[in-house]
Amino acid sequence: MVLALSPDAPRPETTAPASAGFGEPDLARAPRRLTRRETVGAALVAVVLLVAAWAVPPPFAGGLAVVVAGVYLARGALRRRETWLFLLVAVILFVPIRRYAIPIPLPFALEPYRVLVTLTLLIVLADLLVDPAMRWRPLRFGAPVGFFLATMVLSIVVNALPLTAGGLFGSAVGGLVNLMIAPLVLVTVRQLVRSRRTVTVLLTGLSWSGALIGLAAVVERATHVNVFLKLNAVAPLTLLRDPDLSLRAGGARAYGPAQHPIALAVLLCMLVPLGVYLARHAGWPRHPVNRRLFYAGVLACTLLGVAAAISRTAVVVLGAMFLLTAVLRPRLARLLFVLGVPVLLLGALVSPKVVGSLVGSFLDPDSLVASQYTSPGWTGAGRLADLAPATALALQHPFFGTGVGSRVVVGDDANAFILDNQVLGTQLDAGAVGVLGLAVLVIVPAVMLVRHALRAGVPERDAMLAFALATSVVGYGAALFFYDAFGFLQTFLLLAILLAVGAWLLTDAHADTAVDTAVDTPAEEP
| Structure confidence by residue, pLDDT tens digits, 174-226 | 899 999 999 999 999 999 998 999 999 999 999 999 999 999 999 999 898 99
Neighbouring-strand partners of residue 252: 247
pLDDT of residue 526: 39
Residues above pLDDT 90, as percent of the chain: 51
With cut-offs at 50, 70 and 90, classify the pLDDT of residue 7: very low
Q: Which of 59-63, 75-79, 135-139, 326-330 has the lowest mean pLDDT?
A: 59-63
**Is the predicted pLDDT of residue 389 greater than 50, yes or no?**
yes
pLDDT of residue 413: 72
What are the tens digits of pLDDT across the range 286-339? 999 999 999 999 999 999 999 999 888 999 999 999 999 999 999 999 999 988
Q: Are 275 and 295 in contact (CB under 8 A)?
A: yes
CA 198 vs CA 152, 194, 273, 317: distances in Å: 33, 7, 18, 28
Mean pLDDT, the chain, as a whole number? 83
Q: What is the mean pLDDT of residues 265-290?
A: 94
Q: Which of 61-65, 100-104, 106-110, 185-189 has the lowest mean pLDDT?
A: 61-65
Q: Please give the Cα distance from 34 to 39 (Å, whole number).
A: 6
Q: What is the mean pLDDT of residues 43-56?
A: 69
**Is the predicted pLDDT of residue 377 greater than 60, yes or no?**
no
Closest CA to 291 of 278, 274, 300, 302: 278
With cut-offs at 50, 70 and 90, classify the pLDDT of residue 412: low
With cut-offs at 50, 70 and 90, classify the pLDDT of residue 272: very high
Q: Which of 356-365, 419-428, 450-459 has the lowest mean pLDDT?
A: 356-365
**Is the predicted pLDDT of residue 471 greater than 70, yes or no?**
yes
Radius of gyration of the chain (CA): 28
pLDDT of residue 346: 75
Residue type, 12: P
Q: Which of 183-187, 341-345, 401-405, 476-480 has the lowest mean pLDDT?
A: 341-345
Q: What is the mean pLDDT of residues 230-250?
A: 77
pLDDT of residue 125: 93
What are the tens digits of pLDDT across the range 420-432? 889 999 999 999 9
pLDDT of residue 497: 98
**Is the predicted pLDDT of residue 37 greater than 70, yes or no?**
no
pLDDT of residue 82: 87
**Is the predicted pLDDT of residue 444 greater than 70, yes or no?**
yes
Q: What is the mean pLDDT of residues 60-69?
A: 64
pLDDT of residue 182: 95
Q: Please give the Cα distance from 472 to 270 (Å, whole number).
A: 5
Q: Which residue has the higher pLDDT, 80 or 523?
A: 80
Q: Are 406 and 168 in contact (CB under 8 A)?
A: yes
Q: Which helix (H) or strand (E) holds 210?
A: helix 196-223
Q: Which of 73-77, 231-235, 417-421, 494-498 has the lowest mean pLDDT?
A: 73-77
Q: Which residue has the higher pLDDT, 105 or 165?
A: 165
Closest CA to 237 of 378, 94, 376: 94
Q: Please give the Cα distance from 254 to 212 (Å, whole number).
A: 14
pLDDT of residue 1: 42
Q: Specify the DSSP class assigned to residue 311.
A: -
pLDDT of residue 2: 44
Q: Which of 45-54, 162-171, 356-365, 435-444 is the most confident on average?
A: 435-444
Q: What is the mean pLDDT of residues 510-516?
A: 63
Q: Are 434 and 401 in contact (CB under 8 A)?
A: yes
Q: Please give the Cα distance from 255 to 340 (Å, whole number).
A: 24
**Is the predicted pLDDT of residue 494 greater than 80, yes or no?**
yes
**Is the predicted pLDDT of residue 351 greater than 80, yes or no?**
no
CA 70, distance to chain mean position in Å, is: 24
Q: Which of 356-365, 405-414, 470-479 is the most confident on average?
A: 470-479
**Is the predicted pLDDT of residue 50 greater than 70, yes or no?**
yes
Q: What is the mean pLDDT of residues 348-355?
A: 74
Q: Please give the Cα distance from 121 to 117 (Å, whole number).
A: 6
Tell me how crowded residue 362 is: count the other CB atoms within 10 A of its CB.
Answer: 12
Query: Full-prediction pTM beyond 0.85?
Result: no
pLDDT of residue 79: 72
pLDDT of residue 524: 41
Q: Specify the DSSP class assigned to residue 135.
A: P
Specify the 3-state DSSP secondary structure of 44.
Answer: helix
**Is the predicted pLDDT of residue 120 greater than 80, yes or no?**
yes
Q: Are 259 and 279 in contact (CB under 8 A)?
A: no
Residues above pLDDT 70, as percent of the chain: 78
